A = this chain, B = another copy of it.
Amino acid sequence: MRISELSERTGVPVPTIKYYLREGLLPEGDKRTPRLTEYDDRHVRRLGLLRVLRDVGDVPVEGLKRLVAAAETRGTVHDLFAVAADALAPTPPAPGPGRAETRAMADAIIAHAGWDRVREDSVDRDNLAATLEMVGSFDTHPRDPAEIAPYVAMADRLARHEIANLDDHKDRVGLLEEMIVGQVVFASVLTTLRRLAEEHHSHERFAEDQRD
């Protein structure tokens, strides 16, 4: 199919497709002649994936590039997932004062959760530390590990559930896609559900509460 058909089938404008091609997010089509390139279902699929990640997951184009590069990772599927996790994680902000402590706290949280398969140099160790650091400077929440425990437990269940539910018939890139889409989509869904649940549950405690 030509680029215009690819555009119609995916709803992505032609200029945007060209942009993604330039950025290397979309593989080149089959160049039959210098003036005619043939795109196929893999392009339709990839474009769909890119749009879900951008629209639902707010993954920046930079992150998509990292993800595309990560898909090339050799080794086990576990290795692949680890590299993809780093690609999907935001780049940690520069450390401020107190990062050493929060990094230690982050490591402690991970160790306490029993997540001993997490690489020492996982980007998310720093991301966790950075969040703790930023929140720490805002007095209200002293953030001790105990307060975070329920979230660790949730994350653990979530991850187990998602890993267990992956379709075993797929190839490595298929698994990667399913993992990524699940992570990104359900993050969004969970955030929304949580706000909804909070609205509901606040009724119990605060429906009559008129305090100043």
Q: Does A48 contact B (CB under 8 A)?
A: yes
Whether A134 contacts B193 by the Cβ 8 Å rule is: no
Known: A81-B198, A85-B195, A128-B196. A76 touches B115 (CB 8 A): no
Asked whether, in the complex, the Cβ of A193 is within 8 Å of the Cβ of B76, the reply is no
What class of interface size applies to chain A in its complex with B? 35 or more
> Which of B93, B113, B138 is close to A48, meaning CB atoms less than 8 Å apart?
B138
CB distance from A196 to the nearest CB of B (A): 5
A203 within 8 A of B: yes
Q: A104 on the interface (CB 8 Å rule)?
A: no
Do A183 and B195 contact each other (CB < 8 Å), given the known contacts A48-B138, A157-B154, A206-B78?
yes
Could you tell me if A155 and B194 are in contact, using CB atoms closer than 8 angstroms?
yes
Q: In the complex, what residues of B have CB within 8 A of residue A82's CB?
A: 199, 202
Closest-CB distance, A107 to chain B (whole angstroms): 11
Contact B198 A127 (CB under 8 A): no
Task: Quote the shortest CB–CB distance from A137 to chain B (angstroms).
Answer: 7
Query: Contact at A117–B81, with CB atoms within 8 Å?
Result: no
Tell me the residues in window 116-167 of chain A with beta carbons closer than 8 Å to chain B beta carbons: 116-119, 122, 124-125, 127-128, 131, 134-135, 137-141, 148, 150-152, 154-164, 166
Q: Hey, which chain B residues are within 8 Å of A161, CB to CB? A: 150
Q: Which 5 A-B pairs rank lowest in CB-CB distance, beginning with the nearest?
A: A159-B197, A155-B193, A77-B206, A115-B200, A117-B203
Q: Given contact pairs A52-B135, A76-B209, A160-B197, enumerate 8 new A-B contacts (beta carbons under 8 Å).
A: A52-B134, A78-B209, A135-B185, A150-B157, A151-B186, A159-B200, A160-B201, A190-B190
